[in-house]
Amino acid sequence: MIDTETLADIVATYKKHGWILRRVLLSTKTKANVDGSLDLSDVRIVDSEIDTAWFSRPSKPGGVAWEIRYLGDTPFALVENIDENAADFEGRLRTVEARLFESIATKRSA
């Protein structure tokens, strides 16, 4: 479980490199642990069993780089270049989330 200070440090590091925090997927336990000192008012917060954060930044014409970052003890991330205007945009994000969740589950069981 991640705490507010660690999450704020991760967000600051990504911001320094041009990434924007877009969504945070948090477990009930973590959500209760993250206090109001971190401004998440412009961020979509989603209930999840695994704590992750979605960041984005412009990359190539017609696409935006979206990175999902696992917020557990061992950092792990996946990046996908996605056209945000595409009809399957949300589906593509869900597919990347599923890949990350599967990778985390595999690492936990190893």
Joined tokens for residue 84: 């945000």
Question: For 45-61, how does the pLDDT look when each residue is reduced to its tens digit (9 = 90+)?
Answer: 999 999 999 999 987 67
Give the model's pLDDT for residue 110. 61
Q: Which domain holds residue 25?
A: 4-109
Q: Could you give the CA distance from residue 2 to residue 49 in angstroms, rounded to a whole number? A: 13
Q: Report pTM.
A: 0.90
Give the model's pLDDT for residue 75. 86
| Total count of domains within the chain | 1
Give the model's pLDDT for residue 60. 67
Cα distances from 60 to residues 15, 20, 63, 69, in angstroms, run 19, 16, 5, 21
Examine the pLDDT at 24 and tell me if it is beyond 70: yes
Grade residue 26 by pLDDT with cuts at 50, 70 and 90: very high
